[in-house]
Amino acid sequence: MSSDKPARGQRRAALVAVAADLFARKPYDEIYIHEIAEAAGVAHGLLFYHFKDKRGLYVAVLQGMLDEILELHKPRADEDTREQRLRGLFRRHIEYRRGHVHTMLAMMRAGGQDPEIDELFERGRRAGAEFVLDLLGLTAEPPPSLRIAIRGIMGMLDEATIDWLTHDCDVPVAELEQLVYRATVAILSSVQSAHPDLCDVVAELGSLS
């Protein structure tokens, strides 16, 4: 019995991987169970065995994506400064979203339609906010205006990439990264007078002149 568990886990992971590729390339409503089964080379029954229905498989795909998104927040070895870390985070998010267009758009636009998907998306946003707090050197709960500013940064990144993805990625990644980075510095600059500890960090992140 126990020897069969790894095989089951591997089959489930393989099905999620196939479905993730399909959901990234096509809208949810245009994908059917038989299409996923055919792409995976399995019978329909195996899909229903591992997942109750298409939505169950879709949620499993999104859960796997969340794990990948959380990995994006880990600084890379060559990111030594705050600017490098922040730019690296934005670039990785932009590139990841470009590679998962339909699933990312569906997740970012889900607001209020599916609580389970909303919670996955919210976990990703919280991770982004925690990244910014760590970047700023803050360990305690931020004061209200700074908390709002940081959430605004996450929302700005989402809306910027939604617009970019829905316009066929019509500016280079480097240009979008620069736009999001400069907007982030501007948002932090707008609240630094109320939080003097931010002044040095904002100065380090760069002037907008």
For residues 4 and 43, state if they share a domain. Answer: yes
Residue 127 half-sphere exposure toward CB, CA atoms < 13 A: 17
The residue type at 52: K
For residues 85 and 9, state if they share a domain. Answer: no
Check which CATH number belongs to the domain holding 24 and give it. Answer: 1.10.10.60
Token pair 């389970």: residue: 116
Torsion angle of C-alpha atoms 31, 163, 150, 184, degrees rounded to 10: 140
56 within a domain of the structure (yes/no): no
Model pLDDT for residues 64-115, shown as the tens digit of each residue? 999 999 999 988 999 999 999 999 999 999 999 999 998 888 888 876 677 8
Structural domain of residue 37, as residue ranges?
A: 1-51
3-class DSSP state of 139: coil
For residues 99 and 36, state if they share a domain. Answer: no
Model pLDDT for residues 34-61, shown as the tens digit of each residue? 888 888 888 888 888 888 888 888 888 9
For residues 82 and 35, state if they share a domain. Answer: no
Give the pTM: 0.84
Helix locations, 73-141, DSSP H: 82-99, 101-109, 115-135
183 within a domain of the structure (yes/no): yes
In the numeric block, which tokens belong to residue 37? 């089964």
For residues 175 and 123, state if they share a domain. Answer: yes
pLDDT value at 209 more than 50: no
For residues 46 and 72, state if they share a domain. Answer: no
